[in-house]
Amino acid sequence: MRGSLRSPTGRAVLYAATHLIQSLDASSPFDRFEKLWRAFNALYRAFAKEKADHKCHVALRSHIHNNPLRFPLSMAKVSPLKTADIRSNIRWNQMILNNHSTQKQTLALRDSIIRNSDPRILAIYQASLPVRQVFSTNDGFYAQVNTHIQNGIAANAPRDSDVLSTICIKYMYFVRNKIAHAEKADHGFSFLHGGAEEAEIRWLTPFLEALVIDLINISDTF
């Protein structure tokens, strides 16, 4: 841990460690995920030194891409994943519809695709293109995006940092917001146990836990 508890970074890492420890004894997979997200939130804010989540996410994603060896635990988790592993365990189309619900958000969708080169992530985006094809065509982005996807899949050059950032930063932020903003029924109700949402949370949690531990381990560089 960097510095004393009087420093913002020192306090953030301490808080993150307490949430990480509590997550190990959480009463439900949703509680476990929420505690891990609190730890992650404290760490990425301490790392980026920004208040806005988006700016923190951009900074952390860039750091992961530029320094993948600093994230050995989380990279090892995502490296074996196949396209089908990822796609079958997440609600990708729902995220696209939620995050890019209007025409003016189409540029952000294009950018989110273009910044990826990993063939697994690009294949998932390829399958989801019809969801926002009208918007993308209206803005003149569809051909550009489709060409980028086709070239990336053909190159077949895995980039695990794309997978880690997409799952833990982009997708889990969508999942966490759905829970935090009460857009779903409370997960304490028994009829939700064992369903698709619980299966998704259980699948996502090991990746987030590994990234939290990696960030704590490099917190002296913040």
Residue 174 in domain: no
Residue 14 in domain: yes
Q: What is the pLDDT of residue 190?
A: 43
Asked if 33 and 197 touch (Cβ cutoff 8 Å), the reply is no
Distance CA(197)–CA(175), nearest Å, equals 10
- pLDDT (tens digit per residue) in 84-110: 999 999 999 999 999 999 999 999 999
Asked if 205 and 36 touch (Cβ cutoff 8 Å), the reply is yes
The domain total for the chain is 1
Residue 62 in domain: yes
Rg (CA), the chain: 18
Residue 74 in domain: yes
Residue 215 in domain: yes
Indicate whether 45 pLDDT > 50: yes
Residue 36 in domain: yes
Quote the domain boundaries for residue 61.
1-78+198-222
Angle at 26 between CA 23 and CA 29, to 5 degrees: 95
Indicate whether 133 pLDDT > 90: yes
Residue 131 in domain: no
Residue 86 in domain: no
Q: How much is the mean pLDDT over the chain? A: 93
